[in-house]
Structure 1
Amino acid sequence: MDDDGFLKLTEESNSFSLPQKFERFLVPRPPDMSDEQSLHFYAFSYERAFEQLAERASERWPGGGLLQLPLFYLARHSIELHIKWVIDEFGKYTGEAGLTSGHDLLALWREMQRQFVIAGMPAEEEWGEHCERLIRHMHQMDPTGEMFRYPHDRKGKPFQYTYVEFKGLEKAHHNVTLYCGASLDVLSEYRPY
């Protein structure tokens, strides 16, 4: 969205009037493509959404401003979906379904690594170790996936304020999602099609 589009939306919101008729915007229906209900589709969609929003936000608000929290959450969710997608695909290959529930990035990362071992993947290289450090860093700051969605935990205790450095977040997101994609590329070499 360019500046003119943003201004137009702002003007429309300032001249808001209640519609004459209720308009449904959530419509259950079959997907256009069967792939639209897959972890692959969701992971890719959230990845692209993060990349597009992060690019625009960093141009407009270099310090992050009010978008730093939702952008971190979007990046975290994209990473979570990528890891779950890898676990799911490797589970299909190994015949041993992996744990893909929950939002604990570190537990999901460990499950992904377990699937790699079962599949006979080569031992970790520097890139995988770097990505694990990134996952540990995110997990340390936000172990439940709530810290950047709410100002407090379920009991009402405020979360510690955490500044999100945009460039670092973009690099971390890029590294982990690319690593997940590369893992699936390696898996495709193992699969007999």
Structure 2
Amino acid sequence: MAEVAARHWITRGPDDLLPIPILYNYRHSIELSLKWLIRQAAECAIQGGYAGDEDISSEKLDVRLRTHNIRKLADCLNRYLALLNLPELERRIDPESWSQLAWLDSEDATGETFRYAIVGHGDYRAAARPVQENVNFYEQVNELHKLAHLLCVWGGGGGYASHLSVYADWQSEYLAAMESGT
């Protein structure tokens, strides 16, 4: 949805009604991708014999992933990637993606700022975006699109989802071969 709206904005010219919904949809897509990647990394760690202090069972993940905070999710993914038998550089989110995740978190840490005009409850209610911020919208959307694509691209595209899928396949094949003694 975010890409469709962004392409509409790019091809038809600026429309002041679209930037916030576009940012929200990219943010939501990235949040869901991070949650899925965390689950995949945890499954690979458990499959690989993880016996650390942190409970990474699916039940605990259900509780841990009840957040909309991008930074917490990115930190969690980094922790879980570090548990895998990967080359050092692949055990964490790359710096460029980390920079975009940090920007996204700084703009909408709770998942409410791009979604609602008013955030908070009771006496703590406030305008979600009290100060207009000027950004190069085209450039920012392009960066978010690249990040969303990198997180969830499948196949040979080199994205995190593809990478973890290949790792899980390799891990399963390796464990099956070890069990069969070949």
User: Comparing 117-126 with 178-187, which one deviates more in the overlay?
Assistant: 117-126
Instruction: Extract unaligned runs of 5+ from structure 1.
Output: 1-48
Question: Does residue 89 of the first structure (1) align with residue 40 of the second (2)?
Answer: yes
Shift of 1:165: 3.7
Distance in 1, Cα, partners of 2:117 & 2:165: 42
Check the 8 A contact 1:54/1:170 in 2, yes or no. yes
Q: State the partner residue of 2:20.
A: 69
Where do 1:1-193 residues align within 5 Å? 49-62=1-14, 64-95=15-46, 96-97=56-57, 98=61, 99-124=64-89, 128-154=94-120, 155-158=124-127, 159-160=129-130, 161-163=132-134, 165-181=136-152, 182-191=159-168, 192-193=172-173
Give the count of matched residue pairs. 144
Q: Distance in 2 between matches of 1:170 and 1:90?
A: 27
Query: Deviation per CA, 1:2-33, whole angstroms, max 9, x where unpaired?
Result: xxxxxxxxxxxxxxxxxxxxxxxxxxxxxxxx
Q: Cα RMSD between the aligned structures?
A: 2.3
Q: Is the 8 A contact 2:26 2:145 kept in 1?
A: no
Residue deviations 1:132-157 (CA, integer Å, cap 9, x gap): 01111111121111112222221222
Q: 1:74 to 1:165 in 2, by over 3 A?
A: farther
**Does the residue aligned with 1:180 lie in a helix, a strand or coil?**
helix
TM-score by length of 2: 0.69
Give the structure 1 partner of residue 176 of structure 2.
Answer: none
Looking at structure 2, the residues matched to 91 and 134 of structure 1 have their Cα atoms a distance apart, in angstroms, of: 23
Query: Does the CA contact (< 8 Å) of 2:113 and 2:119 recur in 1?
Result: yes
8 A Cα contact 1:50 1:75, kept in partner: yes
1-side partners of 2:25 and 2:136: how far apart? 14
Consecutive unaligned residues of structure 2, counting only runs of 5 or more, are 47-55, 153-158, 174-182
